Amino acid sequence: MKKIIAIALLFITFFYPMNNVLAEDNIESESEKKVVYLTFDDGPSKNTPAVLEVLKKHNIKATFFVVGEQFQYFQNELKELLESGNPVHIHCYRHSNWIYGSQDNYRSDYEKCKETLKSYGWQETKFVRFPGGSSNKYRKTAAFRDIRQYIVGHGLYYVDWNVSAEDAIHSMLSPNEILCNVKKYNKDSNTAVVLMHDGGMNKTAAAGLEKVIEYFKSEGYEFKCMDDDISEEEIKLLMGKSVVNKFNKEKTTANDLP
């Protein structure tokens, strides 16, 4: 019996510190991986400045995908957004399903948004978000396959999300409802790409954002944004999670363009 206890003690002494170190290592690497990307679609609008104010207060950058036809009505808001240091990317010029009719339709809309943004001093970026995301109802059409090819063929990345505030489907959500939706969809414990909106209807965007930030802070997430300093490793990780280039994971060159 004594012998068994002695062996058991030896066993524990030998393995315990090692297991403990490994456990601590795991905790550390797990916590390093907790990252959230807050993304906003459909601005600029009169609701954009309040969103920027909340981000500034928390010293956090979010990623914005803007709609070109709104620039003429919200020039000051656009300028404020561009000067804020938050990355700004193309969503579309006209938020209309017409763009999914053919690659030419998409391309002309995309170019128009690009040129208009450039007239405000914006410089081209690597990211874009399709209206409705890449899994929209046109995803299986030949035209949309060509459109995706156009994007990846030009070295760009189309960005989706894995957490939705559902604030476009129901634009009058209370800040608490926005938070509830974000919590409900936040299933991947390490990487959250959150879709929110700062369009004209999203009056509760800033108040909702405040709650969303508090939530991710309390859960120990690091806040990141999608800008051109993003590493290849980060892109790979986001591709693996199907939030970047979901249907085009293989690298495509301009030669592969249809």
Q: Binding segment for Zn ion among 20-28, 36-44, 113-121, 183-191 (CB under 5 A)?
A: 36-44
The tokens for 183 are 């919590």
Q: Binding segment for Zn ion among 22-30, 128-136, 222-230, 250-258 (CB under 5 A)?
A: 128-136
Over the window 129 to 168, marking each residue x when it contacts Zn ion by CB under 5 A and - when it does not, the resulting string is --x-------------------------------------
Q: How far is the CB of 130 from Zn ion (least distance, A)?
A: 9
Q: Binding segment for Zn ion among 35-43, 44-52, 114-122, 204-212 (CB under 5 A)?
A: 35-43
Q: How far is the CB of 192 from Zn ion (least distance, A)?
A: 19
Distance, in Å, from the CA atom of 119 to the CA atom of 42, rounded to the nearest integer, reads 19
Angle between helices 48-58 and 75-83 (to 10 degrees): 20
Partnered with residue 66 across adjacent β-strands are 43, 90
Angle between helices 205-218 and 48-58 (to 10 degrees): 20
Check residue 68 for interaction with Zn ion (CB under 5 A): no
Do 136 and 130 contact (CB within 8 A), yes or no?
A: yes
Over the window 38 to 67, marking each residue x when it contacts Zn ion by CB under 5 A and - when it does not, the resulting string is ---xx-------------------------
Count of other CB atoms within 10 angstroms of residue 149: 17
Report residue 252 CA to chain centroid gap.
22
Q: How far is the CB of 166 from Zn ion (least distance, A)?
A: 13
Q: Kindly list the residues in this chain that would bind Zn ion in the complex (CB under 5 A).
A: 41-42, 131
